[in-house]
Amino acid sequence: MLKRVVLVLGFLSTFSTAFAQHETAVATAPEHGTEVAAPLSEKEKALEEVNAFKQHHILDSHSFNIMVEKKADGTEKHWGFPLPVIFYDKANGLHTMMSSAFDHDQVAESKGGHYKLFHEKILKTDANGTINLDEHHHATNEKVLDFSITKSVLMIIVTALLMLWIFGSMARNYKKSLVPTGVGKIFEPLILFIRDDIAKPNIGPKYKKYMGYLLTVFFFILFLNIFGLMPFGINVTGNIAITFALALITFIITQFTANKNYWQHIFWMPGVPVPMKLIMLPIELLGLFIKPFSLLIRLFANMSAGHLIVMSLIGLIYVFKNVIAGVAFPFLTFVLYLLEVLVAFLQAYIFTMLSAVYFGMANEEHHHEEAHH
């Protein structure tokens, strides 16, 4: 069960995309009667660098950049490593290359076609790499179907391998002795907590068939949240495509394991007058989709907001270069960072708890009092 769930999560996450704002400034000559755009002040330049810093941490990318070094001549040096780029073009078929082919705004040539990376989207261009923009500065070039191993996908694979290693070793140790050893001493209380305080009270006697998924999704989200606290720009659970995939799996499991009583309460509620049944039917159907939607939005919004606040406070240290900023902002950032650690555990718990509640609703048995009524 663990391997199948992880593979599904990895496959769905390959469709994740990142979006960045694109701003352009046009300066005209003063002899034409228009004003020349004023040069940016040091504080405005610092704010632009802070925005770039936040985008680097929040957005997904086709290469793994650990840090960006700004040189004296204004150029940037990226410390990191390239990732595999895999995409499909209708005219030229499947393409594979490394993301380094797009470094320094280069145009990659493959199978007779020319491609360019624009705001982390692979676009088809001419030999000069021309990007056509509309009035809203959106690229109108032909897009490709992107299956690349992005930074988020890489971290999903790393997390999956880490989980297989940790819980695989725990399973082998339990075959020898029921006394936990090594990392088992840390994770066994969490596993028992999920079983005794989440699965059993919310699902009931049939909780065992859901334990594999509940354990997988709890530790999957927890590990990714912890990785997101590292200063390498790893924000997987802040990607709405990832949270959508997780919520979709919970939705599918809920619907395919539901009993007759669950569907009866949705389509034709027992003990309710017929006019009320007709009114409640569309509401219940809408509720089917609101539940997974709340799952994906809650996880995405909380993790993204937390990262943005922490990154903004770190950036403000460099904007306000004074004693107050040098003392107040680092202290506030440290406090919020500790709060983010709590949120990392809390969001994994909430997602697992709500999934268990939905599974319990899908397996709730018909009450004798209701049948008598």
* Percent of the chain whose pLDDT exceeds 90: 21
Copy the structure tokens of residue 219: 């530790």
Give 58-93 pLDDT, tens digit per residue: 678 888 877 666 666 666 666 778 889 898 988 888
For the stretch 264-269, contacts whose Cβ atoms lie closer than 8 Å and that sit 24 or more positions apart, written own/partner, are none
| Region 262-286 average pLDDT | 77
Whether the Cβ atoms of residue 368 and residue 226 lie closer than 8 Å to each other: no
pLDDT score for 367: 56
Residue 159's pLDDT is: 93
Please give the backbone phi and psi of residue 238, each rounded to the nearest 5 degrees, phi first: -90, 10
Of the ranges 197-206, 267-276, 310-319, which is most confident? 197-206
pTM of the model: 0.78
The dihedral built from the CA positions of residue 18, 230, 302 and 55, taken in this order, carries a sign that is: negative
Lowest mean pLDDT of 44-58, 115-129, 236-250, 260-274, name the range. Answer: 44-58
Which stretches within 194-235 are classed as H helix? 200-203, 208-228
pLDDT band at 372 (very low <50, low <70, confident <90, very high): very low
Tokens of 56: 């680097």
Tokens 């003392």 sit at which residue?
327
Contact between residue 275 and residue 25 where contact means Cβ atoms under 8 Å apart = no
pLDDT (tens digit, 9 = 90+) per residue, 87-142? Answer: 898 888 898 888 888 887 788 888 888 888 887 888 888 888 888 888 877 788 88
In DSSP notation, 51-96 reads HHHHHHHHS--SEEEEEEEEPTTS-EEEEEEE-EEEEEETTTEEEE
**Cα distance between residue 273 and residue 225, in whole Å:** 47
The Cα 190–Cα 33 span in angstroms is 70
Q: Which two tokens stand for residue 313?
A: 């406070």
10-69 per-position pLDDT tens digit:
434 433 433 333 333 333 334 343 344 455 566 566 566 656 666 666 678 888 877 666
Q: How confident is the model at residue 336 (pLDDT cuts 50, 70, 90)?
A: confident
Question: Rounded to whole angstroms, how far apart are CA atoms 186 and 175?
Answer: 18
Identify which of 281, 278, 276, 254 has the alpha carbon closest to the alpha carbon of residue 266: 281
Categorise residue 104: left if φ over 0, alpha if ψ from -120 to 50, beta otherwise.
Answer: left
The average pLDDT across 230-248 equals 85
